[in-house]
A and B are shown apart, each in its own frame.
Chain A
Amino acid sequence: MPTLAEFVKKVSFAEIAKGLQLTFKHMFVKPITNQYPHQKRNLPDGYRGVIVHLRYDDMTEKCVGCALCEAACPSHCITVESAEREDMPQKRYAKRYILDVTKCVFCGFCVQACPVDALASSKEYEMATDNKRNLIMDKEMMLALGDKYFPNRQKRPPYTEDRLAFFNRVKEEGFPTARQDKTPPVQDGKLPVKGAA
């Protein structure tokens, strides 16, 4: 048997009135809509967009063509064709570097694998196109995107030149013989044991 209060509540549509009150209140709540093409989202710093190539501050590209990114890529979307540089025969670079964005899963493993930090995840995500072939990026496109998203470039580390000098010396003089002034490693048919003497 319903009580009088319950009966009055039912007859006066109290619950519907409560609902109407709530919806009316929401008329004055600011909409959460993001008007996308006009108003873009602020992406977080760790956002992983399209992979781009970076340059050093002297505008030389960082990539050394080691193809570790190709090995690390889980979806096999990176193809690296490495070659020696004409001017510096000891140094290598990526003669062709192809990133297939249609296959890329934006995992960022290539960025982690890169030994010289030549790759980076940009915040580029508006890649929609009417031609699939536009999504197969070569190194020039990736470098251009890198220039757009990473204008602050790393200084070219000096050790690179040192090593170049070292290699040039090796080329001219042959390999240096090690430890000429020290005792030879093998003495009386025994290997020297540290702390034995």
Chain B
Amino acid sequence: MDVTLRLVVILVEIAAVLGVVLLHVAYLTYLERKVLGDMQDRMGPMEVGPHGLLQPIADGLKLFFKEDIIPAGANKIIFSAAPILVLIPALIGFAVVPFGRDSLHIGPVEFKPYITDINVGILYILAFASLGAYGILLGGWASNSKYSLLGGLRSAAQVISYELSLGLALVGPILLSQSLSMVKMTEAQGGGFWKWFIVVQPIAFVIYLICAIAETNRLPFDLPEAESELVAGFFTEYSGMRFAFFFLAEYANMILVSCIATVAFLGGWHAPLPFLEFIPPVVWFIAKVYFFLFFYIWLRATVPRLRFDQLMAFGWKIMLPLALANILITSTVVYLLKH
């Protein structure tokens, strides 16, 4: 395969993944509004299109045509750069997520079910996820507003506290699969749901789930954007397309952490039982991801926001020791089983 063709294939794959992810992001907002509405005995959006199905498109168009305001006291360069700094890390993580098993062959060209398989896949996602916190912090600082600044500071504190436990929770599956690559990690879990890492790593799974919610600033850990205290937190001063970038990044991050949870704990695209393998792997992957997304929305409809000291105490005094103990036990057991 010559270089041009490979470049074209990669670009097409990137465009496809980006398009699909952004479409899912748009309709995730719709799903969230509908599910929240149902859980609160309401209907959610009903007006635009049948059952409000065109609502995300209408919202996107509205945000696109809205006036883009930069506050007078804001640092213009950082204020403009912050939404991009948040959105890019959220989208870039999808490069290493394996969505399915089989490659698609069209003539001489092979479309793999992932953009790339690098041998430090999970590390790469975690590294970029931490970069997203800079965008939030800088956006909060550059807005020159106390609400934004407080939101940004809270976000920085929260992300640092919970990223530790998040990374440590993922060490369990890494130890078990002996690989940092997302593809190899998925392949290590084939053969039925009893091979999934959630069975041997339940504590790591729960820790990952909680930390992932905190990482994405979702309820009950949405202190950076707590609307009852901080208006909208770090994006109080943002409007129009820049606001939409923050919004997209939040939902893209939700999908990304759900993808990682699926790959690391629920066996990626593997079917739960061997005889269910006639259903395409992509379907299983999407179903598992949507299970997590639904759980996030479900949790949002149920639990109120934590107090800030509770958040910090929970992160440092419970999650971190638990995650460390989990690594200790897992690595010991893995070592003893190997020898």
**Cβ distance A126 to chain B, nearest Cβ, rounded Å:** 18
> B160 near A: Cβ within 8 Å?
no
**Cβ distance B206 to chain A, nearest Cβ, rounded Å:** 8
> A27 near B: Cβ within 8 Å?
yes
- A23 contacts across to B, CB distance below 8 A: 39, 298, 301-302
In the complex, are the beta carbons of A32 and B41 less than 8 A apart? Answer: yes
Which of A's residues lie within 8 Å of B, judged by CB?
16, 19-20, 22-24, 26-27, 29-33, 35
What is the bound-complex CA distance between A26 and B38, given in angstroms?
Answer: 7
In the complex, are the beta carbons of A16 and B39 less than 8 A apart? Answer: no
- A16 contacts across to B, CB distance below 8 A: 302-303
- A33 contacts across to B, CB distance below 8 A: 41-43
> B282 near A: Cβ within 8 Å?
no
In the complex, are the beta carbons of B39 and A26 less than 8 A apart? Answer: yes
Q: A29-B41, A35-B46 are in contact. Are A19 and B302 (CB under 8 A)?
A: yes
**Cβ distance B35 to chain A, nearest Cβ, rounded Å:** 7
- B35 contacts across to A, CB distance below 8 A: 27
> B299 near A: Cβ within 8 Å?
yes
In the complex, are the beta carbons of B303 and A19 less than 8 A apart? Answer: yes
Please provide the chain B residues from 276 to 309 with a CB less than 8 Å away from any CB of chain A in the complex.
298-299, 301-303
**Cβ distance A168 to chain B, nearest Cβ, rounded Å:** 64
In the complex, are the beta carbons of A20 and B43 less than 8 A apart? Answer: no
- A31 contacts across to B, CB distance below 8 A: 37-38, 41-43
> B119 near A: Cβ within 8 Å?
no
Which of B's residues lie within 8 Å of A, judged by CB?
35, 37-43, 46, 298-299, 301-303
Where chain B touches its partner, the secondary structure class is: helix
CB nearest to B40 among chain A residues: A26
- A22 contacts across to B, CB distance below 8 A: 302
CB nearest to A28 among chain B residues: B38
- A32 contacts across to B, CB distance below 8 A: 41-42
CB nearest to A37 among chain B residues: B47
Show 26 A/B contacts (Cβ-Cβ < 8 Å), sorted by A. Answer: A16-B302, A19-B302, A19-B303, A20-B298, A20-B299, A20-B302, A22-B302, A23-B39, A24-B39, A26-B38, A26-B39, A26-B40, A26-B41, A27-B38, A27-B39, A29-B41, A30-B41, A31-B37, A31-B38, A31-B42, A32-B42, A33-B41, A33-B42, A33-B43, A35-B43, A35-B46
Closest CB pairs A-B (n = 3): A19-B302, A33-B43, A23-B302
**Cβ distance B322 to chain A, nearest Cβ, rounded Å:** 10
**Cβ distance A40 to chain B, nearest Cβ, rounded Å:** 16
- A29 contacts across to B, CB distance below 8 A: 41
What is the bound-complex CA distance between A32 and B302, given in angstroms?
Answer: 19
What is the bound-complex CA distance between A22 and B298, given in angstroms?
Answer: 10
What is the bound-complex CA distance between A24 and B299, given in angstroms?
Answer: 10
- A20 contacts across to B, CB distance below 8 A: 298-299, 302
What is the bound-complex CA distance between A19 and B42, given in angstroms?
Answer: 18
| Interface contacts beyond A23-B298, A26-B41: sample of 10 additional A-B pairs, CB < 8 Å, sorted by A | A16-B302, A20-B298, A26-B38, A26-B40, A27-B35, A27-B38, A32-B42, A33-B43, A35-B43, A35-B46
- B303 contacts across to A, CB distance below 8 A: 16, 19
- B38 contacts across to A, CB distance below 8 A: 26-27, 31
**Cβ distance A37 to chain B, nearest Cβ, rounded Å:** 9
**Cβ distance B43 to chain A, nearest Cβ, rounded Å:** 5
**Cβ distance B199 to chain A, nearest Cβ, rounded Å:** 17
CB nearest to B210 among chain A residues: A13
What is the bound-complex CA distance between A82 and B39, given in angstroms?
Answer: 60
**Cβ distance B149 to chain A, nearest Cβ, rounded Å:** 32
Interface centre among A22, A33, A35 (most CB of B within 10 A): A33
**Cβ distance B128 to chain A, nearest Cβ, rounded Å:** 30
Q: A16-B303, A19-B303, A29-B41 are in contact. Are A24 and B46 (CB under 8 A)?
A: no
**Cβ distance B239 to chain A, nearest Cβ, rounded Å:** 28
What is the bound-complex CA distance between A20 and B303, given in angstroms?
Answer: 8
In the complex, are the beta carbons of B41 and A24 less than 8 A apart? Answer: no
- B302 contacts across to A, CB distance below 8 A: 16, 19-20, 22-23
- B40 contacts across to A, CB distance below 8 A: 26
CB nearest to A22 among chain B residues: B302
What is the bound-complex CA distance between A31 and B51, given in angstroms?
Answer: 14
What is the bound-complex CA distance between A16 and B303, given in angstroms?
Answer: 7
What is the bound-complex CA distance between A19 and B43, given in angstroms?
Answer: 21
- The 8 Å CB contact of A24, one of B37, B42, B43, B298, is B298
- A24 contacts across to B, CB distance below 8 A: 39, 298
**Cβ distance A97 to chain B, nearest Cβ, rounded Å:** 40
**Cβ distance A155 to chain B, nearest Cβ, rounded Å:** 47
